Structure 1
Amino acid sequence: MSGAPSGGYRIERRPVTAGEVLRLALELAALAGVGMGVAALLAALAGPVLSALGGILAALAAAVLWGLFRSPRARFPLPWPGRAAVELLVMGAGVAGWAALGLWPVALGLGVLALASGAVGLVREERGDRSPSS
């Protein structure tokens, strides 16, 4: 064996940047906002079990969308307008979820940081710089 991992992926060993850590935190905050926001909205219509299940499924759907179209190892890579659209959709849904919960400072912070980080990340990707950890 050549020491290459099964599946043909090469493991790139390099330091993780602060921007990559920020991107991961923003993505997790967006997924949490999507899940909790949907769960809170469903709470008025359904019982706690269906509300929780809806929140989990919404967050999972957002994560799958991100993984398929936006991540650096996306199954279906898109040109920059498509990547920007997916990012705006997922991050915007996360912001809306936090706002639906009444947590406006969290929603505002996520929105501002996601816009700035997303713009920088898309520019760097188009220039061929290191892809942000998404």
Structure 2
Amino acid sequence: MLRGLVCAFGLVSLAYWGYIAWPYPMPALLFVVGAPLFAAVVWYFFRSPRSPIETDVVGKTIVEVALVVAAGGAWISIGHPVVGLVFVVVAAVSGVVASRREAR
């Protein structure tokens, strides 16, 4: 449950970053749609349980850390460092719990 909320908040964070950080309408609309779409596609290909590309634990961890840092960095870059840092910490704890559960 928490994992799904973390993923959804990460995608919404990237969309919000695209809306706030770029001039509206044209670059902002591309980033509002493009940044979360790119993150979702990368997650699907390398991290999802049904990904078409077989990836080991290290590869999955690298992809997940990159996506979490991107979403946290998006909050930091638009002037909300507390939200970004709290998100990164919650996502890290959620990732550790999920990886320990997968290892069993």
Give the TM bin, normalised by the shorter chain: 0.7 to 0.9
Question: Which residue, out of 99, 103, 110, partners 2:87?
Answer: 110
| 1:68-87 equivalent positions in 2, closer than 5 A | 68-87=45-64
Answer with 1 or 2: which has the greater Rg. Answer: 1
Q: Could you tell me the TM-score, scaled by structure 1's length?
A: 0.70
State the TM-score, normalizing by the size of structure 2.
Answer: 0.88
Provide the aligned C-alpha RMSD in A.
Answer: 1.5
1:37-56: CA deviations, max 9, x gaps?
2343332xxx4232122221
The aligned amino acid for 1:55 is V
1:94 alignment partner in structure 2 = 71
Contact 1:37/1:96, CA 8 A, preserved across alignment? no
Q: 2:25 aligns with which of 44, 48, 52?
A: 48
1:29 is aligned to 2:6:
no
CA distance in 2, matches of 1:36, 1:77: 31
Instruction: Compute the displacement of 1:90 (Å).
Output: 0.7
Aligned length: 104
Q: What CA distance in whole angstroms lies between the structure 2 residues aligned with 1:38 and 1:97? A: 9
Q: What is the CA–CA distance in structure 1 between the aligned matches of 2:39 and 2:25, rounded to whole Å?
A: 21
Residue 7 of structure 2 aligns with an amino acid whose one-letter code is E
Partner Cα distance (2:76, 2:55) in 1 = 29
- Could you say which residue in structure 2 is the equivalent of 1:67? 44
Runs of 4+ more than 6 Å apart: none
Unaligned ranges ≥5, structure 2: none
Gaps of 5+ in 1: 1-20, 128-134
